[in-house]
Amino acid sequence: MILLQWRASNDLNPRFPPTYPMPQEPLVEIRDLNFSYDTRTILSGINITIPRGKVVAIMGSSGCGKTTTLRLIGGQLKPTSGSVKVAGQVVHELDAKQLYALRRRMGMLFQFGALFTDMSVFDNIAFQMREHTDLPEAMIRDLVLMKLHAVGLRGAHNLMPAELSGGMARRVALARAIALDPMLIMYDEPFAGLDPISLSIVGELIRKLNDALGASSIVVTHDVQESLKIVDYVYFVSEGKIVAEGTAEEIKNSKTSYVHQFVWGEADGPVPFHYPAKKTYGEQLMESGVYRG
Amino acid sequence: MDKVYKAGAKVAQFLQFLGNAVTKRIFRLGFAARFFVAIFLQSGTAFRRFNLTSREVYFSGVLSLIIILVSGLFVGMVLGLQGYDTLQRYGSTEALGILVALSLVRELGPVVAALLFASRAGSAITAEIGLMKATEQLSAMEMMAVNPIARVVAPRFWGGVVSMPLLAALFSAMGVLGGYLVGVKLIGVDEGSFWSQMQASVDFQKDILNGVIKSFVFGIIISWVAVFEGYDADPTAEGVSRATTRTVVTSSLAILAADFILTAFMFTGA
């Protein structure tokens, strides 16, 4: 275990990229995924493949089902039909013990960090190490400081979450997400509410940490410009369906009306400016021809 | 004819509303019962790593000491005044010690301490867990393969269960002290008869132990309601505020109802 931790920590150094062989099959495979809350359909017929070692973005407007997709991958929700396979295991078929074993190999960064507010920055990052390993406290200290160093916050280890700025909190959450050197890192809106400097720092860290750890990353976001700089592949989700996919370059040059509207931030297009309103009784009568004024 | 249809529709609407309200509450009660079982099944961590539970004993027990001790003192002082006023009519003021002690250890100690504990610590537990849910801390914990019921809920539950009997005992002790100060020092009841009558008449098993059992049951009720309401709260500011209010109202009513049932079993008859 100590050896593994040492090697993983060394992997954070870009001068020594991981040399162990990487299996070729994709890390995450989502096939014909459908998900509904009662009668409300959230996702329908989703197919996504996340290859190993890549950073993949899932983009779309708010409420289109991006975060739900992440929760299905993490096993927090069960699909109505279809399957999510992570590292060869169908997530919704796992029992609690197997699911927790799988989650130990995943890291997740929540939208606003979700740091434990009653613990210091240090304890937040040490949390998983203390829960899941028998490492001595001295080694946990070294590992935590290494993770914090990787996100540029080694000097902040004694602070409480309430004392951090939004950007710092996001970086601490990122350090916590990589605490056990996961094979899959999921980011839920990592750029939301950040200033331009923090935004580019977080973007850069996502890419660098992914490459240094030899992990795969899924970035759920609606920040087009920042994410297109760092991702290898993009899936666009609209109304619970994949409407476009491609590399960052393909997406930028896409002629699909929805993608064009989204990438260039146009107010009107396939996604209408006006929220659809119910027709009044009078309007229905006028349309049906029963009443002609 | 039209009027009949309208009346029928209103009745149907009322029945639908009633049925919906009843089934919702039954479902919630069922969920609360399953949650209670889950706490017991996931309590291993709370006992194995007792520092997690002792931290909660500090937060819900030690930090409630001020309100419990001060309230206990004043309740005892009021009992001393009221008791003396009643007993002097029958010329038995020397029985003031018994009246104060029995009222406190049997009834007022467990019940008033529990009501105060529900308002001070129960609401705090609900608010804390509710906010952890609203800020996705519980989801984050689940994604880190750590069960929030074992790590967050169970230690808080057992912390409350352990704290409650201790706080009730301290409440009763302070109440007896308050009764003594008012009865003996202020009014001038004989000190010897105050203590000796109390010692002779208060039975350890029948009075004190039953009081402890009561406060233990109240501790379970308050902690259960508090952790459940926090865990089940809507993850919004309004949802947490409502859950906190529900904790105080539900646990207070449950304490009073449970007190009646327990008293009926413990103190009726011989």
List of chain A residues whose C-beta atoms are within 8 Å of the C-beta of residue B41: none
Looking at chain A, which residue has its C-alpha nearest residue B133?
A114
B177-216 per-position pLDDT tens digit: 999 999 999 999 999 999 999 999 999 888 999 999 999 9
Residue A283, in any domain of the structure? no
Q: How confident is the model at residue A159 (pLDDT cuts 50, 70, 90)?
A: very high
What is the predicted pLDDT for the residue at A11?
A: 46
User: Radius of gyration over alpha carbons of chain B, in Å?
Assistant: 23
pLDDT at position B10 over 70: yes
Is A279 an 8 Å CB contact of chain B?
Answer: no
Number of separate domains in chain A:
1
What is the predicted pLDDT for the residue at A250?
A: 85
How far off is chain A from B142, nearest CA to CA, in Å? 8
Q: How confident is the model at residue A272 (pLDDT cuts 50, 70, 90)?
A: low
Strand, helix or coil at A31?
strand
Across the interface, do B136 and A106 touch by the CB < 8 Å criterion?
no
Mutate to test the interface with A, among B132, B137, B138 (most CBs of A within 10 A): B137
d(CA B164, CA A217) in angstroms, rounded, equals: 48
What is the predicted pLDDT for the residue at B35?
A: 95
Looking at residue A229, which CATH number applies to its domain?
A: 3.40.50.300
Is A76 an 8 Å CB contact of chain B?
Answer: yes
Backbone angles phi, psi at A94, to 5 degrees: -80, 145
If you average pLDDT over every residue of chain A, what do you get? 83
Across the interface, do A108 and B143 touch by the CB < 8 Å criterion?
yes
d(CA A232, CA A240) in angstroms, rounded, equals: 22
B31-50 per-position pLDDT tens digit: 999 999 999 999 988 888 89
Asked whether B156 and B60 are in contact (CB, 8 A), the reply is yes
Across the interface, do B140 and A104 touch by the CB < 8 Å criterion?
no
Q: Regarding predicted confidence, which is higher, A142 or A166? A: A142
List Cβ neighbours of B62 (8 Å cut-off, separation of 6 or more). Answer: none
d(CA A216, CA A24) in angstroms, rounded, equals: 13
Average pLDDT value for residue range B5-23: 90
Residue A174, in any domain of the structure? no
Q: Using CB atoms, pick whichever of A76, A104, A114 lies closest to residue B135.
A: A114
If you average pLDDT over every residue of chain B, what do you get? 93
Q: How confident is the model at residue A167 (pLDDT cuts 50, 70, 90)?
A: confident
pLDDT at position A4 over 50: no
Segments of chain A assigned E as strands: 28-37, 40-50, 55-59, 81-86, 89-90, 106-109, 184-188, 216-221, 233-238, 241-246
Q: Select the highest-mean-pLDDT range: A75-79, A167-171, B7-11, B228-232.
A: B228-232
Is A110 an 8 Å CB contact of chain B?
Answer: yes
Residue A7, in any domain of the structure? no
Across the interface, do B139 and A100 touch by the CB < 8 Å criterion?
no
Q: What is the ipTM for the molecules in this complex?
A: 0.78
pLDDT at position A20 over 90: no
Per-residue tokens: B261? 């049932």
What is the predicted pLDDT for the residue at A22?
A: 52
pLDDT at position A5 over 60: no
Name which of B25, B244, B249, B211 is nearest B124 in CA terms. B244
Residue A238, in any domain of the structure? yes
Residue A69, in any domain of the structure? yes
pLDDT at position B156 over 70: yes
Q: How confident is the model at residue A8 (pLDDT cuts 50, 70, 90)?
A: very low
Where in chain B are the domains? 42-267
A173-197 per-position pLDDT tens digit: 989 998 888 999 999 988 888 888 8
What is the predicted pLDDT for the residue at B208?
A: 92
Question: pTM of the entire structure?
Answer: 0.84
pLDDT at position A3 over 50: no
d(CA A171, CA A206) in angstroms, rounded, equals: 10
Contact map slice: B 132-171 vs A, CB within 8 A = 132, 135-137, 139-147, 151
Q: Select the highest-mean-pLDDT range: A167-176, A238-247, B39-48, B162-171.
A: B162-171
